[in-house]
């Protein structure tokens, strides 16, 4: 189910485009990821688990193109955008062992859902700081090196 619903996220992202800006849909998809993950942890039925598993996949498919656009907007040289793919793969690779360690230490699968939701919330707060952290410096560098032409 999640593999069928997951690709609808990028499709919706393409339809919405810049109509609503990048920031609000990005934060909204992080909220959906957090709620979907916590909801998935609290299910006890296999069918409901499979259906709720599609919610974070859909939101991640929506989130990733939006955050790439946000990175390009605030860092025109593209270094952060190039690194984002590596960070996504790193997060997917480390998520399973970290989740296993949490379950082993706490004997509770519920804590994994809450940690995932908390990490999504922290990422929302970090997204608020992106323009302040890298935007102005990188734009000045790009203008000085004549790599980006502004209209």
Mean pLDDT score across all residues of the chain:
75
Q: Is the predicted pLDDT of residue 47 greater than 80, yes or no?
A: yes
Name the residue with tokens 């993950």. Answer: 37
Q: Is the predicted pLDDT of residue 138 greater than 70, yes or no?
A: no
DSSP-assigned states of every residue in 108-123: -SHHHHHHHHHHHHHH
Q: Is the predicted pLDDT of residue 129 greater than 70, yes or no?
A: no
Q: Is the predicted pLDDT of residue 149 greater than 60, yes or no?
A: no
pLDDT at 81: 78
CA 114/CA 122 separation, integer angstroms:
12
Give the lowest-confidence range in 17-21, 28-32, 105-109, 110-114. Answer: 17-21
DSSP-assigned states of every residue in 53-120: HHHHHHHHHHHHHHHHHHHHHH-TT-HHHHHHHHHHHHHHHHHHHHHHHHHHHHS-SHHHHHHHHHHH
Which has more pLDDT, 137 or 15?
15
Confidence of residue 151 (pLDDT cuts 50, 70, 90): very low
The pLDDT tens digits of the residues spanning 68-114 come to 877 777 777 777 778 877 887 888 888 888 888 988 998 887 888 78
Which has more pLDDT, 42 or 133?
42
pLDDT at 133: 58
Mean pLDDT of 16-40: 77
**Highest mean pLDDT out of 61-70, 96-105, 113-122:** 96-105
């Amino acid at each position: 189910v999640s593999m069928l619903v997951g690709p609808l996220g990028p499709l919706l992202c393409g339809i919405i485009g810049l109509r609503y800006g990048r920031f609000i849909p990005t934060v909204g998809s992080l909220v959906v990821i957090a709620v979907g993950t916590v909801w998935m942890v609290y299910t006890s039925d296999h069918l409901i688990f499979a259906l709720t598993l599609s919610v974070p996949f859909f939101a991640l498919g929506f989130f990733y193109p939006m955050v790439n656009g946000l990175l390009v907007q605030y860092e025109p040289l593209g270094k952060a955008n190039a690194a984002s793919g590596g960070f996504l793969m790193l997060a997917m690779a480390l998520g399973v062992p970290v989740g296993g360690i949490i379950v082993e230490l706490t004997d509770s699968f519920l804590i994994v859902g809450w940690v995932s939701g908390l990490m999504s919330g922290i990422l929302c707060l970090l997204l608020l700081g992106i323009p302040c952290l890298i935007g102005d410096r990188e734009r000045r560098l790009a203008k000085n090196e004549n790599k980006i032409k502004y209209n």
